Structure 1
Amino acid sequence: MLDIKWIRDNPDAFDRALSSRGVEPKSAAVIALDEERRAHIGRVQAAQERRNAASKEIGRAMAAKDAATAEALKSEVTALKDFLGHAEEEERRLNKAVADALAVIPNVPLDDVPVGRDEHDNVEYFGRNGTAETAFAQRPKKRAYGFPPKEHFELGEALGQMDFEAAAKISGARFVVLKAGLARMERALGQFMLDLHTEEHGYTEVQPPYLVKDDALHGTGQLPKFAEDLFRTTLDHWLIPTAEVPLTNLVRESILEEKDLPLRFTALTPCFRSEAGSAGRDTRGMLRQHQFDKVELVSITAPERSIEEHERMLACAEAVLQRLDLHYRVMTLSTGDMGFGAQKTYDIEVWLPGQNTYREISSVSVCGDFQARRMDARYRPAGEKGTRFVHTLNGSGTAVGRCLIAVMETYQNEDGSITVPEALKPYMRGVERIG
C-alpha cells in the first residue's frame, strides 16, 4: 500500500508511475477521498473543542444566574454530542474508503526499471556491475544434442513415471501424478534447494501453514484484487499461492530492532493457484499447474539495505541453476510486466531444449515498504525513539516443478533416459540414471 501523504505531495510523479504500468491516473480521485476524510476529521476536532468550551461556559452562565444563556449552551452541547455520536461511524467509513482505494493501486516502480507494456519490453540483466561477457562466463552453457531433444511430458510419459490421465481422473486438468524416479527427483530437488539456502546462504528454514486468513493475503497484496487466482475453502481460509504469504506475514503487526535485520526465511511448500487468467496457456505438461512445489526466499530489511539485498537474493536463486548446470538468463521486468506489489523484479529464465526456448523459473522482487504498510510491520532504528516501516523482498529459490522440467529436458539421453545431475546424486541414494 502506498503512502497517502506521498501521493498528496507528489501527484504528478504518482500518476506518471501508474501510467508506466498501464494504469490510468488516480491522484485526483484518491486525493479527493483523502480531503473528504481530512475535512471530516477537522470538523470532529472543532466540534470536540467547541463542546468542551461550551460545557465550561454553561458553568459560568449558571454561576451568573443567566438561565437563558445556559439553556442555549445546553442545546448547543446536545447538538454537538449528537453530531459526534454519528461522526465516529462516518470517520470509519471515510478511512475505509481511502484504504480500499489504496489497496488496489500497484506499487511505484524504481527509477531504473525499464518502461514497457509487457514481457516483450523486458531487458536482459547481466549483474549490477557486470557485462554480457562476464555473465555468460559464469552461467552454464547450452548443451548440444546429437538428436532432437524431447519435451518433458514426452520423456515422462514414455518412462511411465508422469501420468496426466490419472491425475485428471482424480482432480481434473492441470494436475500430474509423478512416480518412481521422477517423484524421487522432484523430492531431491526441493531438499537440495533447502540445504543450499540454509547451509550456505544464511536463510532460516520455516514450515508455515498452508491455509491463511484474509489479512495475510491482503498484507502481501494478493487480496482484494487477485481473489480469482486463489483457492478458497468452505471455512473461509485460503490455500497459499506461494510461501511468500505466510513467510512475510511472520513480521506483521511487529516492531523489530534494527540490530536483528535482515531477517531471511525460506520454506519448501506446495502452492495452489487457480490460474484463472491463463485459460488455454501451457495446457500440455507441468508448466502451469494448479498445485506445485516451490522453495521460497523472503527477506525483511532496513530501507537502506533493500536494493543490496535484492541483488543478493538474485545470486542465491542463480546458485541453484549454477549447481545443477542448467543454462539460464536473467531479465529485468518492464513496468508493464511486474507484479502488483513489486518495485523491481528480476526473472530467471531457464533454457528448455525440448521447447527450444527460455521459461521463467524464478522471480525475485523488492517491494519497498508496500507490503509493510499493509501489514503494519516496523522496526526501531538504532538510537531513535520512533519507528519506520521495514522493506520486504521475496523470490523463488526456485520453482521445484519447473526445475524438474529443466533437469529432464537438459539431462535427457537419446534412449529417453535421464541422467541425474551431480548436485542431486547425494539425494538420490545411488540412482544415477532414470530409465
Structure 2
Amino acid sequence: MHDIRTVRADPAAFDAAMARRALPPVAAAILEQDSIRRSSQTALQELQARRNQLSKEIGIGKRQGADTAALEAEATALRGRMEALEAEAKAADEAQGALLETLPNALADDVPDGRDEADNVVLHQHGNPPNMPFTPKQHFEIGEALGLMDFAGASKLAGARFTVLRGQLARLERALGQYMLTLHVDEHGFSETAVPLLVNDATMYGTGQLPKFKEDLFRTEDGRWLIPTAEVPLTNLVAGEILAEDALPLRFAALSPCFRSEAGSAGRDTRGMLRQHQFTKVEMVAVTAPEHSDAEHERMTQCAERVLTELGLVWRRVVLCAGDTGFSATKTYDLEVWLPGQGAWREISSCSNTLDFQARRMAARFRPRDAKGTAFVHTLNGSGVAVGRALIAVLETHQQEDGRIAVPAVLAPWMGGLSHIG
C-alpha cells in the first residue's frame, strides 16, 4: 500500500513511478477523493465544535429557565448534517483506498526498464551448461522411464497439473526439502516455522494477493484461502505488531505445500512438473529496519544461491525488469537453473524486497531505539528454493547415460546412503 502523503507531495513523480509499471496516471483521481475526505472531515470537526457549544448553551439556558427551543432545533439540524458528512467522508476514504490497494509497489531506481522476462538482466552465472556425451532427457521422460513419476495416476485423482511420485523419487523430493530447511535454519539463522495452509482474507490482503489476484488462488467453501506460498502466513506473523528495533531482523523459514490455480497459464508447461497446482517450497521471510533491507535482500539471495551450488546445479542470477517485477516488490532477483533436458534456463527462486509496501497493508511497525514514535518495518521474501523445480534440475543435471540419477552428496543424510536412483 502506498502512503497518501507520497502522492500529495509529488503527484507527477507518483504517476511517473506507476508509468514504469505501464499504468496510466492515477494521482489526480486519488487526490480528488483525498480532498473530498479531508474537506468533509474538516467540516465535520467544525460542526462538532458548534454542537458542543450548543449543548453548553442549552444546558445553561435550561438552568436559567430560558427558552432553548431554537438552540435545540439547531442542534437537531446539525445532527443530520453531521451524519451526511460522515457518510461522505467514509465513501471518499473507501474510494481512495480502493484505488491505492490495487496499485503495485514503486520500483527501485536500479530496476531496469522493460516489458517482460525477455528484458531481464543477467547479473552473474555459476558454472556453464554441460556438454553431455548423450542426448539428455527431460525430467518427465526420466521419471516415467524409472517408473517413479506418475502423471496418469495423478490425473485420475485430481486432474491436470498434479504429479504422483513414488519410491526413490518421492524420497528425493522429501530429502531436498529437508536439506534446504535444515541449511537455512542451522547455518543461515532462519527460525523454523510451521504455518497454517489455510488463511483468512486479512492475511491474503496483507501480502498483496487480495483483492487483485484472487483468480490465482484456491478458496474453500467456508471462505478461507489455500496459501500460494508460505510467504503469506510467515510475513503476516508481524501484522498489527509494534516490534522493538533490537528484535530485528526477524528471519522465518518454512517448508510447506503451495497451491496455485495457474490462471492464465493455459498451454504453458503442460508436460511434467514445472507448473503445478500443488507443489512444495522452502520459503524465507525477513522483517528488518528500513536501513537494512537492501543488505538483507542480498543476503537472502545468497542463501538461495548456496542451495543450488551445493546441489551441483548450473545457475544464474537475474534482476527482473519493470514489466516482470511482481505486484508487491520494489526489486526482485530471480535465480534461474539450467535444465539440460529442456536446453533452457528456468526460474527456481525469486527473492524480493517489498520495502514498507506490505507493512502498511498489515500495520506492522517497529519502535526505533533512538527516535520517538513508530515506523513501518520492511519485509522481504525469497524461495529457498522451490522443491519440485529443484527435483527437476537434479534429475536433468545428474542423469547418467545408463538412465540412473546421481544423488548430490549433500542429500546423503536423508537418502539412506543411496548414491544413485534407478
Counterpart position of 2:112 = 114
Question: What is the CA-CA distance between 1:74 and the residue it aligns to?
Answer: 1.8
1:65, CA displacement in angstroms? Answer: 6.9
The Cα of 1:50 is off from its aligned counterpart by 1.2
Paired residues of 2:136 and 2:399 also in contact (CA < 8 A):
yes
Q: Which residue of 1 aligns with 2:73?
A: 75
Query: Distance between the aligned counterparts of 2:116 and 2:26, measured in 1?
Result: 21
- Counterpart pick for 1:189 among 150, 153, 176: 176
Cα distance in 2, alignment partners of residues 48 and 181 from structure 1: 73
Q: d(CA) in 1 for partners of 2:198 and 2:61?
A: 63
Q: What does 1:277-292 correspond to in 2, within 5 Å? A: 277-292=264-279
Residue 3 of structure 1 is matched in structure 2 by 3
Q: Please name the residue that 2:195 is paired with.
A: 208
Q: Which amino acid aligns with 2:96?
A: V
Question: Structure 1 residues 85 and 33, CA, compared in 2 at 3 Å: closer, same or farther?
Answer: closer
> 1:405: how far off?
0.2
Secondary structure, in 3 states, of the residue corresponding to 1:265?
strand
Cα displacement (A) at 1:25: 1.3
Aligned 1:94-173 pairs, distance under 5 A: 94-126=92-124, 136=125, 139-173=126-160
User: Letter of the aligned partner of 2:367 in structure 1?
Assistant: R
C-alpha deviations, 1:242-271, integer Å up to 9, x for none? 000000000001000000000000000000
Contact preservation (8 Å) 1:352, 1:410: yes
- How far is the alpha carbon of 1:57 from its aligned partner? 3.5
1:240-279 equivalent positions in 2, closer than 5 A:
240-279=227-266
Structure 2: distance between partners of 1:222 and 1:62: 58
Q: 2:192 is matched by which residue type in structure 1?
A: E
Shift of 1:90: 4.0
Cα offset, 1:72, TM superposition: 2.5
Count of residue pairs brought into register by the alignment: 422
Correspondence 1:260-339 to 2 at 5 A: 260-339=247-326
| Cα pair 1:123 1:333 within 8 Å, conserved | yes
**SS across alignment from 2:285:** strand
Contact 1:149 1:354 (8 Å CA) reproduced: yes
1:337 is aligned with what amino acid? D
| SS in structure 2 at match of 1:170 | helix
Q: Does 1:177 align with 2:164?
A: yes
- Counterpart for residue 131 of structure 1: none
Matches within 5 A, 1:350-365: 350-365=337-352
Q: Deviations over 1:291-331 (max 9, x none)?
A: 00000000000001001100000100101001111001111
Write out per-residue CA displacement over residues 156-191 of structure 1, whole angstroms, 9 at most, x where no aligned residue: 011100010000000000000000111000000000
Q: How far apart, CA to CA, are the structure 2 residues paired with 1:329 and 1:58?
A: 77
Q: Measure, in 2, the Cα distance between the counterparts of 1:33 and 1:386.
A: 28
Counterparts of 1:176 and 1:327, CA distance in 2: 25
Residues 37 and 90, structure 2, Cα contact 8 Å, conserved in 1:
no
Rounded Cα–Cα distance in structure 2 between residues aligned with 1:411 and 1:239: 34
Unaligned 5+ residue runs, structure 1? 127-135
CA contact (8 A) 1:140 1:325 kept: no
1:207 CA displacement: 0.4
Write the letter of the residue equivalent to 1:186.
Answer: E
Aligned equivalent of 1:34: 34
Shift of residue 66 of structure 1? 6.1
1:258-294 superposed Cα distances (whole Å, 9 cap, x missing partner): 0000000000000000001211111010000000000
Tell me whether 1:343 sits opposite 2:330 in the alignment: yes
Structure 2 letter corresponding to 1:206? T
Aligned partner of residue 267 in structure 1, secondary structure: strand
SS of 2:349's equivalent? strand
1:402 aligns with 2:389: yes
User: Shift of residue 62 of structure 1?
Assistant: 5.8
Q: Are the counterparts in 1 of residues 116 and 323 from structure 2 also a CA contact under 8 Å? A: yes
Q: Distance in 2 between matches of 1:28 and 1:290?
A: 40
Q: Partner of 1:412 in structure 2?
A: 399
Amino acid corresponding to residue 101 of structure 1 in structure 2: L
In structure 1, C-alpha distance between the alignment counterparts of 2:41 and 2:71, rounded to whole Å: 23
Please name the residue that 1:237 is paired with. Answer: 224
Structure 2 runs not aligned, ≥5 long: none
**Residues 207-249 of structure 1 deviation map (CA, whole Å, 9 limit, x = unaligned):** 0000000000000000000000000001111000000000000
Q: Is the 8 A contact 2:228 2:259 kept in 1?
A: yes
User: In 1, Cα distance between the equivalents of 2:269 and 2:331?
Assistant: 26
Task: Give 1:55 deviation, angstroms.
Answer: 2.6
Q: Which residue of 2 aligns with 1:385?
A: 372
**Which secondary structure does the structure 2 equivalent of 1:362 belong to?**
strand
Aligned-pair distance for 1:143?
2.2
2:358 equivalent in structure 1:
371
Q: Which moved more, 1:30-39 or 1:173-182?
A: 30-39
Secondary structure of the residue aligned to 1:326 is: coil
> C-alpha separation between the residues in 2 aligned to 1:343 and 1:214?
23
Q: Distance in 2 between matches of 1:32 and 1:90?
A: 13
User: Per-residue displacement from partner, 1:48-102 (whole Å, max 9, x unpaired)?
Assistant: 01111223334565678763xx432221111112233454444333322222211
Query: Taking structure 2 as the reference length, what is the TM-score of the superposition?
Result: 0.97
1:195–1:140 Cα change, 3 Å: farther
**Over residues 342-397 of structure 1, what are the superposed CA-to-partner deviations in whole Å (9 max), with x where a residue is unaligned?**
00000000000111110000000000100001000000000333010000000000
Percentage of identical aligned residues: 58
Matched residue SS, 1:336: helix
Amino acid of the residue matched to residue 171 of structure 1? Answer: A
Q: Is the 8 A contact 1:140 1:322 kept in 2?
A: no
